[in-house]
Each structure stands twice: as structure tokens, then as C-alpha cells.
Amino acid sequence: MRQLTGIDASFLYMETPSTFGHVSSLILFDPKDTPGAGYESTRAIFEHRLHLLDPMRRRLVQVPFNLDHAYWIEDPDLDLDFHIRQTAVPPPGNDQQLGELVSRLIARPLDRTRPLWELYIIYGI
């Protein structure tokens, strides 16, 4: 069990139903140049190395009555299939379609009952 730092807690406290404190990024890989960048191989890498990734195995636990910052605890029910997902943009797979998909994905709050991360493998670009 590990308590959130003030900075981490501030990201949670600033969140409202319409404002999120999570951080997102988009990385593009050309599958011809990056063998193993697909869903199955990415999931297998995470599964193999998850024991090395403490922050990705932790979820939040609130202090009763919010009297103090929340704590991180190891999630005994971590479900990689929930956290690592695959989706696709429809043909022709242009930048605008990718932007619309990514904006929909990051416009949702993260599930605070699970570790606070999601990874999407997006096909069709």
C-alpha cells in the first residue's frame, strides 16, 4: 500500500464529470517496419513483464470520508483484456478518422475501480 503524492492527488481532485486529469498519447507504428506491434504481441509483452510494472498493477483505494489522499494498492484482479484493447478506423483510415476515434477514447473517464490506464491498438490507419 502506498499513498498518493500531492501531485498525483491533485490530478484526481481536479476531475469533474466534464474535466479529466488523465494524460494521453498517440504513437504511430508502421506494421511493415515494426513486427510485433499488433494486439496479440503487445498483450503478450505486457503479460510477460507485468511483474516489473508496479504502477500498472495498482488501483486506487479512497480513505473513508476523504480525510486524506487515496492509496495505491495492488489489484489482485487485474484484467489485461480490460486494459489492452483493439479497435479500428473504417476505410480509408485517414487522419481525420483517427483524430475522431482518439478524441472519443480520451473523452471518457478512467474507471477508478481498476488500475488507471488503458492501451488501444488501432488498426486501419
Domain ranges (residues) in the chain: 2-123
pLDDT for residue 18? 85
Which residue in 83, 76, 72 sits closest to 8, CA to CA?
Answer: 72
Which residue in 92, 87, 90 sits closest to 120, CA to CA?
Answer: 87
pLDDT for residue 11? 87
Q: What is the pLDDT of residues 57-94, one digit of tens each?
A: 999 999 999 899 999 999 999 999 999 999 999 999 99
For the record, the C-alpha cell of 12 comes out as 484526481
Q: Residue 15: phi, psi to the nearest 5?
A: -70, 140
The band of 32, judged by pLDDT with boundaries at 50, 70 and 90, is confident
36 pLDDT above the threshold of 80: no
17 pLDDT above the threshold of 90: no
Asked whether the beta carbons of 124 and 93 are under 8 A apart, the reply is: yes
The band of 22, judged by pLDDT with boundaries at 50, 70 and 90, is confident
Sign of the CA dihedral with 46 first, then 49, 52, and 57 last = positive
User: pTM of the predicted model, to two decimals?
Assistant: 0.89
